Amino acid sequence: MSWIGFTLLAAFMQAVRTAGQKQLSLHLTAMSTTLSRYLFGLPVALLYTAALWYWQPNASPQWSGSFLFWAGLASVAQIGATWCLVTAFRFNNFAVGTTLAKTEALQTALIGWWLFGLPLAMLGWFALVVGFLGVLVMGNPKTLFSNKHAWRSPALLYGLAAGALFAVASLSLRTAALSLKVDTLLAAALTLSSMVMLQTVICAVWVSTTETKPWQRLWQYRRLALFIGITSALGSIGWFTAMALHNPALVKTLGQVEFLMTLAITRWVFHERIHRYQGWGMVLVVTSVILLLQ
């Protein structure tokens, strides 16, 4: 059950990282903010990988075209998913888009079962549905369903696309890690380092060719960017390892406890009010976690 510990680590780090990204995005573009996550997280990923390999000097990863394909697909899908999610924010009724992005766990289960042959028990499906309902409630259903025009917004398409791409990324990185045929921890670390290096290059080329003085602005906010990079890398270590150990759909379902952690940060760090509907949503998410762990 070590996947549970890695998932909880990932969820906590993601909640903390999101708070940091919220601040940094006030000063940088969406892609520069994304670049900070990979650029400053890369040294952490490489050090973690080197440490694991040091303790397993005889490990012989089976590098192959299959690994390169799946790791590359996961890298591009993750960047695309982030872009779709950020794009959804640009529309007035983006609540629909962001909520549909949280169908990631359900889409991971469906794609995993259909294309990757990952089975899921009936209790697992039930936990998935209860967890998504909890996320929906915390997103305030009144806001989502009171405006019919919201469901005609392009945010709907971008939200679903983000969820689908995140699902593809999760399943692809698991396939890439397992193809190395070494210890799970090392396989996940090697996959993480490979992906972050590729993502850093892609984002760096993008901002260098489309933005004005992105590196100066990134250096100006280097402390916040470093915080985001470190927490992102630690979160990715948790996600990658948990999904290499267990079904990504169930990992993502348990990972929804991130919302509880985010609400805690909202209440005790930013001193913002937690509404009653968010409390009911928390109950549903906790229920899904309990069902999942049976």
Q: How far apart are CA 132 and CA 227, in angstroms?
A: 30
Mean pLDDT across 67-84: 91
Q: How far apart are CA 85 and CA 103, in angstroms?
A: 12
Q: How far apart are CA 129 and CA 289, in angstroms?
A: 11
Predicted confidence (pLDDT) per residue in 205-261, tens digit = 999 999 988 999 999 999 999 999 999 999 999 999 999 998 887 787 787 777 667
| pLDDT of res. 277 | 64
Higher local confidence (pLDDT), 43 or 162: 43
DSSP assigned state of 257: G
Mean pLDDT across 14-26: 79
| pLDDT of res. 158 | 77
For the chain, give the longest Cα–Cα distance.
Answer: 60
- Angle of CA points 175, 177, 183, to nearest 5°: 135
Q: How far apart are CA 112 and CA 105, in angstroms?
A: 10
Q: How far apart are CA 80 and CA 158, in angstroms?
A: 10
Average pLDDT, the chain: 81
Whether the predicted model's global pTM rises above the 0.85 cut? no
Higher local confidence (pLDDT), 149 or 122: 122
End-to-end, the C-alpha distance of the chain in Å comes to 12
pLDDT at 281 over 70: no
Higher local confidence (pLDDT), 105 or 65: 65
pLDDT at 275 over 80: no
Predicted confidence (pLDDT) per residue in 22-75, tens digit = 788 778 888 898 899 899 999 999 999 999 999 887 888 999 999 999 999 999
Q: How confident is the model at residue 93 (pLDDT cuts 50, 70, 90)?
A: very low
- Other CB atoms within 10 A of residue 29 CB: 16
Which of 102-116, 140-154, 215-229 has the lowest average pLDDT? 140-154
Which of 14-28, 50-64, 76-90, 271-285 has the lowest average pLDDT? 271-285
pLDDT at 92 over 60: no
Higher local confidence (pLDDT), 263 or 163: 163
Most confident of 12-26, 129-143, 151-165, 173-187: 173-187
Q: Residue 120: which region, alpha, beta or left (left: phi > 0; alpha: psi -120 to 50)?
A: beta
87 half-sphere exposure, CB direction, 13 A CA radius: 16
Which of 93-97, 103-107, 190-194, 233-237 has the lowest average pLDDT? 93-97
Mean pLDDT across 261-288: 66
Mean pLDDT across 274-286: 66
Mean pLDDT across 86-104: 60
